[in-house]
Structure 1
Amino acid sequence: MQDALRLGVAGLGTVGASVIRLVQEHGKHLAVRCRRPIEIVAVAARDKTRDRGVDLSGYAWYDDALTLAHSNSIDVLVELIGGEDGPAEAAVRAALTSGKHVVTANKALLAKHGMEFAKLAEANGVSLNFEAAIAGGIPIVKTLRESMAGNSVTRVSGILNGTCNYILTRMEREGLSFEECLREAQRLGYAEADPTFDIEGNDTAHKLALLTSLAFGCQTSVDSIYLEGITEITTADIEAADELGYRIKLLGIAQRTDTGIEQRVHPTMVPKSSAIARIDGVLNAVAVEADYLGEVVLVGPGAGGNATASSVVADIADIARGDLMPTMGRPATELEPYTRARMRRHEGGYFIRLSVFDKPGAFATIARCMAEKNISLESIVQRRRAPRSEAPDLSADAPRPTAPQPVIMITYETTEADIKAALEAIGRENVIVGKPRMIRIERKPDAGTAQG
């Protein structure tokens, strides 16, 4: 049996402690499966006195990750600090430069520095593995990089943030507001004290940028992603989607088109019958569409210490076995420049919710603004302000409300530019109050995900 693979773990938060616990408990099994022992020899964190629930007495202690990265006592730096710069960036750079393998769960770091670090790893003959950086315990990196090597991927998409999925699930099931669900997510530890990175879609965007590179063999380009979070989703949107046979999910979507690669992160209405609609709570799901294999959907826990540690140790096991793969599935020098796709027609159409003044000509004005942008309306429905359990009274003798009323429009396929231009025109006509709400619709009944 070969000599032990020596690990240095930088960052002893929830994931770091879980990695140590997993290696301690399953060390014998790992040695058999990898044909060599895997041993943690050193750790790095700021506070040595903190109780992390694992025995650290047998490991060398470092107060900073950079010193650990330079140490000749380790073969692999396991970076679990987080952040796109700072100590994590410095430690990973130092480890790769000195010929050490790196395993990381840091999607922000890779979204910003991934191309540079991939070249550095390959130049020094070491691995840069990051299974845990995308969708927690779901083995999507290995699937794209290895299992689907014989396929040409056309589309990759899914639910990549458990915090947002938890909030949307609670809003639908319990009729709670976004703010109420966010507070509960924070109480349960599903959302950070400052949840902006999650709820505005940035976390999903970083993961999507890495998936795009893996799927299409191109350089990462997180700045090219259309980004829209879930902060403006209301219970009215959730209820309307339910009545129309849809559920609202925050999706990350990347697909190849004739003009380049399209990347989007935004709320989407998906049919209740679709696979993606049934992913609830903090679960993640990733769907990949390819020419020979068709569609594959992977579902699992997208966060949490044990799930993420499972992916981290899987990457370590690959290194122990000597499985050295290019970071993005092909040599970094052969990754194609990212070409952003031109805007195209959205095949599923759009859901539009307006708050319309109840006055003569309002509906005609709205229809005219839509027609001037060549937007065809499949339906337009006025909804009375009433509890969900009460059917609205639309009879001719019913008294007409005087306050602005919710109006829902469903369009046929059109471009986002035309939709936005039409809504801006409607806003100038003094027939609505507040900001219009627009959500993309996915119509394919058997689709796993939504089209952007």
Structure 2
Amino acid sequence: MKQINVGVLGFGTVGAGVVRLLVENRDILRSKVGADLHLKYVADIDTETDRGIALGDGVLISDAHKMLDDPETDIIVEMIGGEGIAKEFILKAIRNGKHVVTANKALIAGHGNEIVEAARQHGVDFAYEASVGGCMPIIKSVRESLVGNRIHAMTGILNGTCNYILTKITEEGSTFEDALREAQAEGFAEADPTLDVEGGDTAHKLAILNALAYGMRINLKDIYVEGITRITPLDIAFAAEFGYKVKLLAISKNRGDAVEARIHPTMIPLNNPLSNVGGSLNAVTISADAVGDMMLYGHGAGMMPTGSAVVGDIADIARNIMTGATGRIPVLSYQPEAIREVPVLPVDEIETHYYFRFAAADRPGVLSKISGILGDLGISIASVHQKGRKTEGAVPIVMLTHIAREADVRKALTEIRNLNIVCKEPVLIRIEQ
């Protein structure tokens, strides 16, 4: 039986999950792949900590270049993370003719075009299923299962930390700060959660999915990103009264000559399947011309779910090696010559429904002044709720709109904020029906 040698860069949480599967499930992998996936090296600066996995002599090394320069190592698995040394190691592995697997969404979103071109030039496979959605086979679905479809739109809950926090606020009335602390205690959030809660992690994933779905170069910088730090229990409670839940959504729509790509807290109806995705779980819905609507759902992070996706990529590459089929599936779904520059629609040009909450003075004529500004800018109000009197003299006024243009909404809110009857910054949450 053919032996295919694998080297793993990074022996942290996810790296250990990959190693565990390669070691403990070696027999089942052999029976399914038809080759022996031999773990030849694991490289990490920490070679002393016991990860509870039995490795043979000489497998765990501190010198990554020994692995990268070894002519017998066929597949390199990058589990270091970040955009610095990880990029250097991946490009070196590719130049040395080695196939590469990674879960590094930040690296792919920021430098994927360069890496994909390097893989093409050197005739190797570059696989990254685990970079989006953990164990959900979203990349495989878009690249392979939906190859005959025109994809119209994708909507996803792609960050488990944010989903966990919003679930806690929704179900228990927690504040954002308390929910974040609990997420950190449970291991769902990093000590510095900025990348998650401000939407950056989700943006990395959406940039990758856009490229796969629409035949465009990876474009991270033009995606509109808004995090969940300003979401309050009050707004989530109002959303529930109107029949909505609040989720941090990655929204992507094919507009033909442009792509709508945005990430922000969103109110979605309770009958939308995504509204029932709770805790740290992820989910993605895809709308396409042949299949209609479909949904993938599962763990988006964690040692073993992510490790499972990585090992799936290793197995795919091993099969390609055995059959001489390297490059059979284009790395970015489309053939290189078909990939083009597709502009991302500026957020000011999007049109959707909106939720507003104003803290206004408790006096006659307030509602007419606010609605007058909205009306002057063509923003039609679907419903208005004034929620009781407050002792400080301010009352919350909540409005839902019909479809409106973002630029008009922003202009209206600026004018309303400048009224002397409005006490605080207005709250805006977009609604997707």
Shift of 1:166: 0.3
Question: In structure 1, what residue type is equivalent to 2:52?
Answer: G
- In structure 2, the residue matched to 1:447 is none
Say whether the 8 Å CA contact 1:66–1:90 is kept in structure 2: no
- In structure 1, the residue matched to 2:151 is 153
> Which has the larger displacement, 362-371 or 268-277?
362-371
- In structure 2, the residue matched to 1:249 is 247
Shift of 1:64: 4.3
- In structure 1, the residue matched to 2:418 is 428
**Does 2:345 match 1:341?**
yes
Counterpart CA distance in 2 for 1:92 and 1:331 is 22
Counterpart CA distance in 1 for 2:101 and 2:432 is 36
Q: Where do residues 212-223 of structure 1 align in structure 2 (5 Å cutoff)? A: 212-223=210-221
Match of 1:376 among 373, 380, 386: 380
Match of 2:336 among 332, 337, 347: 332
Secondary structure, counterpart of 1:47 in structure 2: coil
- In structure 1, the residue matched to 2:360 is 356
- In structure 2, the residue matched to 1:227 is 225
Shift of 1:66: 4.3
Gaps of 5+ in 2: none
Gaps of 5+ in 1: 386-399, 444-452
Secondary structure, counterpart of 2:25 in structure 1: helix
**Does 2:130 match 1:132?**
yes
Counterpart CA distance in 1 for 2:247 and 2:51 is 35
Counterpart CA distance in 2 for 1:157 and 1:81 is 29
- In structure 1, the residue matched to 2:60 is 61
> Which has the larger displacement, 208-217 or 60-69?
60-69
Secondary structure, counterpart of 1:224 in structure 2: coil
Counterpart CA distance in 1 for 2:18 and 2:119 is 23
Shift of 1:196: 0.1
Cα deviations across residues 378-399 of structure 1 (Å, max 9, x unaligned)?
Answer: 11111126xxxxxxxxxxxxxx
Compute the TM-score of the two structures, normalised by the length of structure 1. 0.92
Shift of 1:47: 1.0
Counterpart CA distance in 1 for 2:230 and 2:108 is 29
Say whether the 8 Å CA contact 2:5–2:40 is kept in structure 1: yes
Shift of 1:217: 1.0
Shift of 1:157: 1.6
Question: In structure 2, what residue type is equivalent to 1:13?
Answer: G
Counterpart CA distance in 2 for 1:312 and 1:345 is 36
Question: In structure 2, what residue type is equivalent to 1:374?
Answer: G
* Number of aligned residues: 426
Say whether the 8 Å CA contact 1:43–1:59 is kept in structure 2: no
> Which has the larger displacement, 105-114 or 315-324?
315-324
Counterpart CA distance in 1 for 2:312 and 2:59 is 23
> Which has the larger displacement, 69-78 or 113-122?
69-78
Shift of 1:59: 4.3
Counterpart CA distance in 1 for 2:392 and 2:273 is 42
CA RMSD of aligned residues (A): 1.4
Cα deviations across residues 51-79 of structure 1 (Å, max 9, x unaligned)?
Answer: 21212343433324344323323111100
Match of 2:407 among 405, 417, 423: 417
Say whether the 8 Å CA contact 1:358–1:401 is kept in structure 2: no
Counterpart CA distance in 1 for 2:230 and 2:64 is 39
- In structure 1, the residue matched to 2:102 is 104
Cα deviations across residues 111-167 of structure 1 (Å, max 9, x unaligned)?
Answer: 011111111111111110000000000000110001111111111121000000000
**Does 2:281 match 1:276?**
no
| Percentage of matched positions with identical amino acids | 42
Counterpart CA distance in 1 for 2:243 and 2:128 is 37
Counterpart CA distance in 2 for 1:333 and 1:66 is 33
- In structure 1, the residue matched to 2:162 is 164
Counterpart CA distance in 2 for 1:334 and 1:345 is 27
**Does 2:408 match 1:366?**
no
Label 1:431 to 1:45 Cα distance change in 2 as closer, same or farther (>3 A).
Answer: same
Question: In structure 2, what residue type is equivalent to 1:75?
Answer: D
Shift of 1:330: 2.2
> Which has the larger displacement, 354-363 or 196-205?
354-363
Cα deviations across residues 319-348 of structure 1 (Å, max 9, x unaligned)?
Answer: 11115322111233431112223554524x
Cα deviations across residues 164-202 of structure 1 (Å, max 9, x unaligned)?
Answer: 000000101100100000000001100000000000000
- In structure 2, the residue matched to 1:286 is 284
Q: Where do residues 391-402 of structure 1 align in structure 2 (5 Å cutoff)? A: 401-402=391-392
Label 1:186 to 1:345 Cα distance change in 2 as closer, same or farther (>3 A).
Answer: closer
Shift of 1:401: 5.0
Secondary structure, counterpart of 2:211 in structure 1: helix
Say whether the 8 Å CA contact 1:10–1:65 is kept in structure 2: yes
Secondary structure, counterpart of 2:221 in structure 1: helix
Match of 1:210 among 208, 211, 214: 208
Counterpart CA distance in 2 for 1:279 and 1:439 is 19
Say whether the 8 Å CA contact 2:133–2:282 is kept in structure 1: yes
Label 1:255 to 1:429 Cα distance change in 2 as closer, same or farther (>3 A).
Answer: same
Label 1:333 to 1:404 Cα distance change in 2 as closer, same or farther (>3 A).
Answer: same
Counterpart CA distance in 1 for 2:366 and 2:129 is 53
- In structure 2, the residue matched to 1:302 is 300
Shift of 1:419: 0.7
Counterpart CA distance in 2 for 1:66 and 1:412 is 59
Say whether the 8 Å CA contact 1:122–1:326 is kept in structure 2: no
Shift of 1:368: 1.3
Say whether the 8 Å CA contact 2:359–2:395 is kept in structure 1: yes
Say whether the 8 Å CA contact 1:97–1:124 is kept in structure 2: yes
Shift of 1:402: 4.9
Secondary structure, counterpart of 1:222 in structure 2: coil
Runs of 4+ in 1 over 6 A off after TM superposition: none
- In structure 2, the residue matched to 1:394 is none
